[in-house]
Each structure stands twice: as structure tokens, then as C-alpha cells.
Structure 1
Amino acid sequence: MNASIKSVLFEKMNAKQDRMIEIRRYLHENPELSFQEEKTAAYIADFYKDKDCNVRINVGGRGIVVTIDSGKPGKTVAIRADFDALPIEEEADVQFKSKNPGVMHACGHDGHTAYMLILAESLIEIKDSLAGKIVVLHQHAEEVPPGGAIKMIEDHALDGVDNVFGIHVMSQMETGKLFYRPENIQTGRANFHVKIQGVGGHGSSPHKANDAIVAASYFVVAIQSIVSRRLNPFDVGSITIGNFDGRGSFNVIKDAVLLDGDVRSMSEEVRTIIEKEIRAKLDGIAAMFDVTYELEYENDYPVLYNDPELTEETISHLKQTTIPELKGIELCDAQPPSEDFAYYAKERPSMFFYVGAAPEEGEAYPHHHPKFKISESSLIVAAKAMGSIVVDYLVKGE
């Protein structure tokens, strides 16, 4: 039964594949930054006009929640796609370049939205064959904390939902393949901002000043030992200083320096250790150099955890499904970036996986690169994989 329903679903999406790509290219040409996605949200909401579903707009900000109700009792599954872009000037050699200077879909969220719209439309057309409900989470602001996911959850986007599934297209993974991993799959994240305050002075009289640049430089070096000397070698953690603002004049001793940092970890325990050690290093530097400091430290996106039982069951079903465009399903390593889908996974047993989208020609640039490109053939793979999951989930739950 599942196979026949999937066959009908796949045929519908095959017929709409060109429109899926057109949608992706329109969104790519018209990107909007996180929390500013006014026109994109309106475009998505307008897509569902006159379709047999319930649409709730402005969820947690600019999020959109679409409920597809089969009219029969059963479980409720949520499927999520994000739609924000990045503050990057596009350099990719494509005919549908961004029309918004300094803004670019450099992470594939345009592709996520395009495949999800066509999938949702097709699921609406076959909903009488299913049991239960499908909740489509069109999420804004994945890229910038606090992120759209937590805001949508606070605005009841997951009410009644049993499980959540999400996909990310990956520009450096082989096109035509799916990649997955149970348990921890993406890092948790924190960011911090430090102002080290010394006493300014003249370069000719350093004894009358407390040099904030020297103190701040010592901090940058000192925190490198946190990962190498305070973490278990089998644990994952990283600390990056992305900004060191100490610009001044050659003969002036700087009185204050501003630093911005990024922290990644693969467990809450490691994240706690790193924060504790950063604070300890700052206390020591304040005493050593007779300076003061102000610290803003924010733990934002949690570690992304894939429910093992749900993941293994889902992958088992996918391996038994015939998707002509699918070349294989492979276990992958955990991924270093963070992802606010992790908030959904903290609330409901969830699974997040990847669809390979390396371009057929040219170099496969990483996400957030100005020359980022994906293979658009990955979109139909994503749509069919997620569609297959929904069918197995809701027919099983009948």
C-alpha cells in the first residue's frame, strides 16, 4: 500500500520538478536576511492560497505553519524548511544571481523552501490516502540567534506534533545520496563579547598606562589552552576569536579593546567547561595586568540530537523505498556547524539528515561562501525522501 501511495506522490512531484526549480531560482534572486524576510514569508503564504490546508502566518515572528489534515485519526508529523539568507555579496556564476546587494542564499535555504512547497502541495493532493496530520514548518531566521525555531515553538508551532523531520542540502556531499547519523549530529554553539578596559597613555611612557592590547592579546593566546588542556581528547570543542578591535594610533597605548568569539561543542558538558574556563582566564588576566573586563556570554543553539530509534527506523524504510534519483544512503560524520533545528529536537523526538548537492561542474564551495552553488537535481531527491518519510509515518500510524 505504501509503495502505491508513494508512486502517486512521486509522479505528482516529477510533473512539478520544473516549477520546483523555478521557485528556487526566484527565491535565490530575492533573498532576505534573518528576521527581515517580509516578502519571502508573503510569497510562501500566497503559495498556499486556495489550497485545502490550514495556514497560520506570523508564527513566532515571520514563521508560517501549514497543517494538512487527512480527516482521519492518526499521528501528527512535522516537516521543517528554513527560508532566510545571509549577509554575503554573491560571486557565484549563475544566471539567477541575487538582486539584493550584499544578501545571498549561500546556505541552500532557497532550495529547502522550493522542495517543501512542491512536496506540501503534492501531499495536500493525496491526503485522503493518509491518516493523521502533517505540519509544515516554514521557518524564518535560522542563521541568527536566537533563531526562528525557538520563537515558533514558543508560539505553539509544535502543539500536537509527535515527531519532527528536517533536511539540509549539502554542497560538498555527493549529489544523489542521503547522509545520516543517529544521536549527536551537529554542534551546540555559544558566542561571547568582551571589553577589556585598561588605562590609556602615551607610547613613550608605558609605565603610566595599563595596555589593553597586551592584556587582550594574552587572553587570545591563553584560551587556546582550553581545548588542548581542559577538554578530554575524545570530546569535541573549538573556540574562535572572530573580531579583535584594537585599532588606534602607533604612539598611543590603547585603553580598551573589544573582542568577539565563537564556541562550538558536541555536548552540553563541554560547553559548560569552556564557558567556565573563559571566565577564569579573564579573571586571571584582570589580576595580572590590572585591567577590568565586561563579558557578555550567550549559549544559543543546543547540540542537535537525532533520536536513535526514530533515525534507524526511518533509514530502514528509506532503504526499502525505490527513489530513482537516489544513489545511496550513507552514515556520515557529525557536522561542525550548528543548526537551530536542535530546538525542535529538544522538544520532540526528531531526525535531521542531509541530501548531497555538490554541483555537477566546477568547485564545490562550502556553505556561507560567496561562490556557493548547489545541484538543483538535489531538490527532487529531498522532496521524495521527505515525502517517503511522511507516507510511511502516516500510513503506519493509521
Structure 2
Amino acid sequence: MEQIKQTLAEVHTELEDNFAEVVEWRRYLHQHPELSFQETETARFIAEKLSSFGYENIQTNIGGYGIVATLAGKAAGPTIALRADFDALPIEDEKETAYRSKTAGVMHACGHDGHTAALLGTAKALIKHKDSLNGKVVLLFQPAEEVPPGGAKAMIEDGALDGVDYVYGAHLNSAAPLGKIGVGKGFKMAAVDKFAITIQGKGGHGAAPHEAVDPIVIGSDIVSALQKIVSRRVNPLESAVVTLGVFQSGQAFNVIPDTARLEGTVRTFNADIRQQVRKQIESIVAGIATGFGATYSIDYLHGYPALYNHPEETALLQRLFAEEFGEEQVIPLETGMGAEDFAYYLQEKPGSFFKVGSRNEDTATHYPHHHPKFDIDEQALLITEKAFTKIVFSLLGS
């Protein structure tokens, strides 16, 4: 045990010494973001860094542009997977910083550049101390987290978790102060589904609505009815969200259009509720549309499942992070209706997903994720690295 503590202390000193390099990687990635399913240069950057560290077992093009690198310790033992995502968002970077995005309309507004830089820093430290490990570490660099069907599912289908015993992931969190780490068991993030409804009516003159089948009126009734699913059809002890984000129809003030298009999202935790809400949406749309003489179509996409942190593995994180950072720094991970495709990994293997606080007193770090001015306190990268290495040496340390 003392030897493990000593080795971990050495590793954390090295992480501190190499911190400026990790920041440099993060800022490079921030300046060169790539959208989901388009991350060719980002994948190349990651693979080249891993190779320069001395990794030989590097698999590329896993589930798209995913990368899997495996580090074998000196002796046999469990296999732990650590994951970072690396896609960006279709948002214009509005920050006034030297490292703002150089790609118009694309930016890292969710911290994925930080996740990748931190896991690269972890990888560099681990390979220097591989003889202190009993077991293997699998580094999962994942594309396309932001857009369903996402990259996690495809990477799993390509064998990214083969032979893995436990999987852990981290996410930067601008809602929590620097130094705080959010840990929590059970369902912590929701399943996300997307639906698109097309209503085919009959166009006409605005002065003669009786001669038309008005898709705007029909769509309005559908919007109103869908909002009653959660309040009147879902058990109040369960959680669900039905939100409409798109309603498009018509181009002129005095013309009744032919069609209307509605798009929305459903968020749930319970798999049965998830199916119930879908059936209710389909039933409501059918009843209202046909009742007013229109036809309709529904395109319903099941996105990521709900993210479930396994109790035993989460309790381990609670203990390890309290040892490393202090009990007062470990805070409850809030349950929210946001979604994460890390949920797919946790459906396959036991593990846990935690969040690392990234805001400080500077208001530049207070913007929410997906905001055009999103930024972080980069010290959060070092905390993420220390958290990852704490997990590895506590489970695999010889």
C-alpha cells in the first residue's frame, strides 16, 4: 500500500510538471474543432500523441474515428477503461481569447477538448509507470458524442469494450466550482429521444379557412395536447419531459399552408415510461390530425439510454476521491434530464461517470455548456488527470 501511495505521488508530481503541455494540447484542439462524424484531424492528432508517448497497441477508426489504445501492466489483473470524447458543436465561438476557434461556426462549447487533453496527459503518465500496474488500461477516445446515434454505441460494436472489466468517464462541469467533483449512484442522466411530425393539410386562402385543412391549427392543438402527456398520463412519481423545439409552417400572412413540421425531444429514466410516452405521442398525433381531415407522418428516433452509475463502482469513486482531494470536495452528482452516450458503456460494463468542477471567480468560466462563450478554468484538467490516475493505481497498483 505504501508503495502504491509513493508511486501515485510521483505520478501526480509528473502531471503537475507536464500541466503546461496538457493546456497547450487543449488550446490546440479548441482552436481546431471538428463536428461529430467529421473528426479526422482530431483523431490524427490523438493517435500521433499516443504514438509519441510510446504506445504501440493503438487501434484507429473504431466506430468511426474512434481510437483505442491499450496499456498492459507488468502482471495480470483487471482491465479498466477510461473514456474521453472529442467532437465539437455547430456554434460560433464568441470568446475574445488567443485560443478561440479558428473554424467559423464550430467550437468546443462542452469541454470535449479538455476531456481529450486530460486523457492524453493521463496516458503519458501511465506508460512511464506501467511496471507498477497489475492489469490493463484501455484508453477510449470517442468521436460523435453530441449527435445521436453517437460514437459510443459504434465503438462498442467495433469491440472497444472487449475484455474490459470496468469503465469510467469524466466530464467538465461549469456549474460546479473548481476543485469539486460530482459523484452519484443510480440514474443520473436521462434517455434522449427525438421526434419529427409532418402534418399534411390542404392549403387555401386565409379568407376562406373552411375550404382548407389548416396544418397550423392542427399543429397547435398537437403541441397543446403533447404537453398533457407528462402531467396527465405519466405517473407523477416518475420523471419525463416532452419539449417541442420546432414549429415550421407557412410563408405568407394571408395564406393557409399545405404542411406543418414539428420537432421535439423526450427525456425519461424509466424504460417503460419511455415507451409509454412514444405511444402517447403517436396516439395524440393520429387522433388530432385525422380528426381534422389531415394526414401525418412521425419520424421517431430513440437516442441514448439513461445513464446509470453502478452503486459499487460509484462508492469506490466516492472513497478514492475523498482520499485524494478531501471529503469536502466530493459533492453529490446532480440528477438531470441532459443526456450522455457514455450510458452505452455503462449498459455493457460496471463503472461510473463523474463530473469535475471547472468554474472559478472569473465570470468567463460561468457560461453554461453549449454557450458561445463557454470556457473553463484549465486547472480542472489536472484534477481530471489526478482522478483518473487515482482510479488506475488504486485498482491496478502492484
Residue 107 of structure 1 pairs with residue 114 of structure 2:
no
Name 1:348's counterpart in structure 2: 349
Q: In structure 2, give the amino acid aligned to 1:345.
A: L
Change (3 A) 1:335 1:94: farther
Cα distance between partner residues in 1 of 2:86 and 2:103: 15
Measured after TM superposition, the shift of residue 8 of structure 1 is 1.4
Residue 176 of structure 1: CA displacement?
0.6
Q: For 1:31 and 1:10, locate their aligned partners in 2 and report how far apart those are by CA, in whole Å.
A: 29
Matched, 1:189 2:200: no
Aligned equivalent of 1:385, options 379, 384, 387: 387
CA displacement 1:159-197 (0-9 Å, x = unmatched): 000010000000111111111110101011000111001
Q: Percent same amino acid among aligned pairs? A: 45
Aligned amino acid, residue 226 of structure 1: I
Cα deviation, 1:268-297, whole Å, max 9, x if unaligned, reads 122112111101111111232111110010
Map 1:1-398 to 2 at 5 A.
Answer: 1-50=3-52, 51-321=54-324, 323=325, 328-362=329-363, 364-395=366-397
Give the Cα separation in 2 of the matches to 1:339 and 1:115.
19
- Kept after mapping to 1: 8 A contact 2:201/2:259: yes
In the alignment, the residues of structure 1 paired with residue 62 and residue 361 of structure 2 have an alpha-carbon distance, to the nearest angstrom, of 37
Give unmatched runs, 5+ long, in structure 2. none
- Distance, in Å, in 2 between the alignment partners of 1:169 and 1:243 is 29
TM-score of the superposition, structure 2-length normalised? 0.96
One-letter code of the match for 1:32? Answer: E
Offset, 1:245: 1.0
* Contact 2:333–2:355 (CA under 8 A) maintained in structure 1: no
Distance 1:336 1:261 in 2: 14
Is the contact made by 1:176 and 1:327 (CA closer than 8 Å) also made in structure 2?
no
Shift of 1:327: 6.1
The two structures have a TM-score, normalised by structure 1, of 0.96
Alpha carbons 1:179, 1:354 under 8 Å: kept? yes
Partner letter of residue 331 of structure 2? E
Q: Deviations over 1:321-362 (max 9, x none)?
A: 3x49x9610113212210000000001112000000014301
Q: Show structure 1 runs of 5+ residues with no match.
A: none
Distance 1:367 1:69 in 2: 35
Deviations 1:48-80 (A, max 9, x none): 124144100000110000000114111100000
**2:323 & 2:205 partners in 1: Cα distance?**
74
Give the counterpart letter for 2:23 in structure 1: I
What is the identity, as a one-letter code, of the residue corresponding to 1:26?
Answer: Y
Q: Distance in 2 between matches of 1:211 and 1:11?
A: 68
